[in-house]
């Protein structure tokens, strides 16, 4: 007979049950304030995000709000956002409150509070005590870390929140009957479109749960999940294709390991990527291995709970699919949904299946069980502490790098060349702060360049062709990205460079400026020289003479 969980969504909680939420919220606010003040002060009282990617969403949201164009500039549709829902939310905020730099930060902070509240709420439904709930909340704040996700200004906080909603609805669906079961399943279906449009990696978790429901022979429910997921993916895909772009956003196709149709060597990557995963993403092992240990502990303790193995299977398959088709790293943001999923499932399986196992009715056995579980938590916390201490110390430095490079580029362009056609390889901040016509030499926001890269036709001649066709006046690029057959065309005139020090986040510490229209050479050189001499501390510049 299947054991049902003692969860009652209608249960009324006393105020004492919200003590963990209050404490964790206080810590969250204190540390967010601390990092906010550091970032503003070090950047001459400008708040700057630690990634240029944030400004890509902000630029598209600005143009959609002000001009009705879903694009990196106000001139053309571009399928550049990997999170359509996040960009749409920013656009809605800009429509209501006006375009402002703080919108992604404030939105993330509010979602962060909702995430902490929901974790506290559901922790009580599965009967975690205040100590256990507070431990889970603190792990989310400092080991996820929620603080870093908040300041990135990207969709990952929202993604984590929706992931928890989805897995919790599945747990309720999996452990209730009749009306409640259908009700919880319908809530799962409602969440799916939001999940998919927030991060396409959500498909991995949805697929894992789809297989579980199929395994349980709930064929109608599995069909509903398939249909809803298919239409959720297809909505944006249809819009993108109608505008001449690919089904998936360029950012997804260029930055992930996704390949369609699948290439033969994709299967050979499995072994290589598995080894790389084990050596470079050890943090996730400290989620998978404890879960595996806990499910094994259930079995050897004579109480086999199939559900415990199902939850482990869901997490394990989601991780496998992620490292096959997605990426890790870049301020740890891509894998955060896996970490919060693992944190929650460890607490859930422990509380519901492991901690109560005592086949010999012995107090000593209970003490041993709890000791093992606490040691596992210490092991997880220690591993993640090293990882997250690095990432949090990374945050102000990354923000300063973006301020010194992309923010200065944007100010320079906005001041002197606001309506020009400009070629770039890092497009976010410049496009958000100015009204240029952007020629993205990397290909995220330029369909012709994207296709030429895909067809292996992208070279110096193509760069020269596309910049002439778009009437580009000025190019700002990383020379280190354009070498060999991608070298800047001979007719480009290099007028100078900016160099930042202690670079940890920008694509290069040196950014180069090229004039493409000789009739504007003297004018642009004077303006470049004037602006360069007033650059903030920590940036050196080099102005080239005509014979260099």
In this predicted structure, which of 233-237, 336-340, 446-450 has the lowest mean pLDDT?
336-340
Cβ atoms of 497 and 473 closer than 8 Å: no
Query: Residues 55-67: what's their mean pLDDT?
Result: 97
For residues 323 and 471, state if they share a domain. no
Give a yes or no: residue 3 inside a domain: no
86-127 pLDDT, tens digit each: 999 999 999 999 999 999 999 999 999 999 999 999 888 888
Give a yes or no: residue 9 inside a domain: no
**For position 167, what pLDDT does the model report?**
95
For residues 65 and 100, state if they share a domain. yes
Q: Residue 440: pLDDT band by 50, 70, 90 thresholds?
A: very high
Which is higher by pLDDT, 339 or 389? 339
Cβ atoms of 73 and 435 closer than 8 Å: yes
Q: Three-class SS string for 267-309?
A: HHHHHHHHHHHHHHCHHHHHHHHHHHHHHHHHHHCCCCCHHHH
Give a yes or no: residue 8 inside a domain: no
**For position 27, what pLDDT does the model report?**
95
Burial class (CB in 10 A: 0-12, 13-18, 19+), 167: buried
- Residue 19 pLDDT more than 60? yes
Q: Residue 262: pLDDT band by 50, 70, 90 thresholds?
A: very low
Non-local CB neighbours of 110 within 8 Å, separated by 6+ positions: none
**For position 360, what pLDDT does the model report?**
46
Q: Phi/psi at 262 (nearest 5 deg)?
A: -60, 140
For residues 48 and 123, state if they share a domain. yes
Give a yes or no: residue 1 inside a domain: no
Percentage with pLDDT > 70 across the chain? 80
Which is higher by pLDDT, 299 or 153? 153
Q: Residue 3: pLDDT band by 50, 70, 90 thresholds?
A: very low
Query: pTM for this structure?
Result: 0.89
For residues 41 and 57, state if they share a domain. yes
Query: Residues 492-500: what's their mean pLDDT?
Result: 96
268-284 pLDDT, tens digit each: 454 555 555 555 455 55
For residues 497 and 388, state if they share a domain. no
Which is higher by pLDDT, 334 or 33? 33
Helix (H, G, I), strand (E, B) or coil at 512: strand
Name residue, tokens 């919200």.
Answer: 18
For residues 390 and 408, state if they share a domain. no
Which is higher by pLDDT, 356 or 160? 160
313-358 pLDDT, tens digit each: 898 899 888 877 887 766 678 888 998 998 888 788 777 776 555 5
**For position 373, what pLDDT does the model report?**
60
Give a yes or no: residue 459 inside a domain: yes
Q: Residue 265: pLDDT band by 50, 70, 90 thresholds?
A: very low
Which is higher by pLDDT, 342 or 238? 238
Query: Could you give the number of structural domains in the chain?
Result: 2
HSE value, Cβ hemisphere, 13 Å, CA-based, for 435: 6
Q: Phi/psi at 359 (nearest 5 deg)?
A: -65, -20
Query: Residues 447-455: what's their mean pLDDT?
Result: 92
Find the radius of gyration of the CA atoms of the chain: 26
CA–CA separation, 128 and 124 (whole Å)? 5
Sheet holding 539-543, edge to edge: 437-440, 421-424, 474-477, 510-515, 493-500, 539-543
Residue 279 CB coordination number (10 Å): 8
Query: Domain ends where: 397, 424, 459?
Result: 397
Query: Residues 31-57: what's their mean pLDDT?
Result: 96
For residues 375 and 406, state if they share a domain. no
For residues 389 and 523, state if they share a domain. no
Query: Domain ends where: 397, 421, 439?
Result: 397
277: domain range? 15-397
For residues 362 and 406, state if they share a domain. no
- Residue 495 pLDDT more than 50? yes
For residue 74 the two structure tokens come to 């106000």
**For position 324, what pLDDT does the model report?**
79
Non-local CB neighbours of 30 within 8 Å, separated by 6+ positions: none
Q: Residue 1: pLDDT band by 50, 70, 90 thresholds?
A: very low
Give a yes or no: residue 124 inside a domain: yes
Q: Tell how far CA 200 is from the center of its chain.
A: 10
Which residues make beta-bridge pairs with 540?
499
- Residue 365 pLDDT more than 60? no
For residues 379 and 429, state if they share a domain. no
Q: DSSP string covering 443-499, please?
A: STT-HHHHHHHHTT--SHHHHHHHHHHTT--EEEE-GGGS-GGGPPPTT-EEEEEEE
**For position 301, what pLDDT does the model report?**
53
Mean of per-residue pLDDT scores for the chain: 85
Which is higher by pLDDT, 334 or 210? 210
For residues 253 and 340, state if they share a domain. yes
Give a yes or no: residue 225 inside a domain: yes
**For position 327, what pLDDT does the model report?**
76
In this predicted structure, which of 137-151, 383-397, 471-485, 496-510 has the lowest mean pLDDT?
383-397
Query: Domain ends where: 397, 431, 449?
Result: 397
For residue 294 the two structure tokens come to 């806990």
- Which residue, 393, 403, 397, 398, is CA-closest to 539? 403
Helix (H, G, I), strand (E, B) or coil at 510: strand
For residues 390 and 403, state if they share a domain. no
Which is higher by pLDDT, 11 or 405? 405
For residue 240 the two structure tokens come to 């993108």
Residue 223 CB coordination number (10 Å): 13
Give a yes or no: residue 4 inside a domain: no
């Amino acid at each position: 007979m299947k054991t049902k969980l003692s969860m009652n969504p209608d249960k009324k909680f006393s105020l004492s049950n919200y003590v963990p939420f209050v404490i964790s919220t206080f810590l969250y606010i204190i540390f967010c304030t601390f990092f906010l003040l550091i970032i503003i002060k070090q950047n001459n009282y400008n708040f700057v995000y630690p990634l240029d990617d944030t400004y890509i969403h902000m630029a598209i949201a600005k143009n959609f709000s002000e001009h009705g164009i879903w694009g990196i500039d106000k001139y053309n549709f571009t399928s550049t956002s990997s999170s359509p829902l996040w960009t749409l939310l920013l656009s809605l905020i800009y429509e209501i409150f006006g375009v402002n730099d703080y919108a992604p930060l404030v939105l993330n902070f509010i979602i962060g509070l909702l995430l902490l509240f929901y974790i506290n709420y559901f922790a009580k439904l599965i009967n975690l005590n205040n100590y256990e709930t507070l431990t889970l909340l603190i792990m989310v704040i400092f080991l996820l870390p929620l603080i870093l996700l908040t300041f990135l200004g990207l969709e990952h906080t929202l993604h984590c929140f929706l992931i928890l909603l989805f897995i919790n609805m599945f747990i309720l669906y999996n452990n209730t009957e009749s009306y409640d079961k259908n009700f919880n399943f319908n809530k799962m279906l409602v969440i799916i479109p939001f999940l998919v449009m927030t991060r396409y990696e959500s498909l991995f978790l949805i697929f894992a749960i789809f297989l579980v429901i199929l395994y349980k022979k709930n064929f109608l429910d599995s069909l509903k999940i398939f249909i809803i997921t298919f239409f959720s993916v297809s909505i944006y895909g249809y819009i993108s294709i109608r505008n001449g772009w690919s089904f998936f956003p360029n950012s997804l196709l260029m930055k992930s390991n996704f390949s369609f149709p699948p290439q033969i060597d994709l299967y050979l990557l499995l072994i290589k990527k598995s080894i790389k995963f084990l050596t470079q993403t050890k943090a996730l092992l400290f989620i998978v291995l404890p879960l595996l240990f806990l499910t094994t502990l259930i079995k050897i303790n004579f109480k086999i709970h199939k559900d415990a193995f199902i939850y482990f299977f869901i997490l394990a398959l989601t991780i496998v699919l992620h490292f096959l088709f997605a990426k890790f790293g870049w301020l740890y943001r891509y894998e955060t949904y896996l970490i919060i999923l693992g944190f929650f499932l460890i607490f859930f399986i422990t509380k519901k299946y492991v901690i109560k196992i005592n086949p010999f009715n012995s107090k000593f056995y209970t003490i041993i069980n709890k000791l093992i579980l606490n040691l596992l938590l210490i092991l997880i916390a220690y591993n993640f502490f090293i990882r997250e201490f690095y990432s949090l110390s990374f945050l102000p430095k990354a923000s300063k790098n973006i301020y010194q490079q992309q923010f200065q580029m944007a100010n320079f362009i906005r001041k002197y060349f606001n309506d020009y056609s400009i070629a770039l390889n890092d497009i976010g901040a410049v496009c958000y702060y100015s009204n240029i016509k952007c020629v993205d030499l990397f290909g995220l926001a330029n369909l012709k360049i994207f296709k030429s890269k895909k067809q292996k036709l992208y070279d110096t001649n193509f760069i020269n062709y596309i910049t002439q066709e778009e009437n580009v006046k000025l190019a700002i690029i990383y020379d280190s990205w354009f070498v060999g057959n991608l070298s800047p065309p001979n007719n480009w005139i290099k007028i100078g460079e900016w160099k930042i020090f202690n670079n940890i986040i920008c694509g290069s510490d040196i950014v180069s400026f090229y004039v493409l229209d000789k009739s504007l050479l003297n004018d642009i050189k004077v303006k470049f020289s004037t602006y360069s001499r007033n650059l903030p501390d920590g940036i050196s510049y080099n102005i080239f003479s005509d014979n260099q």
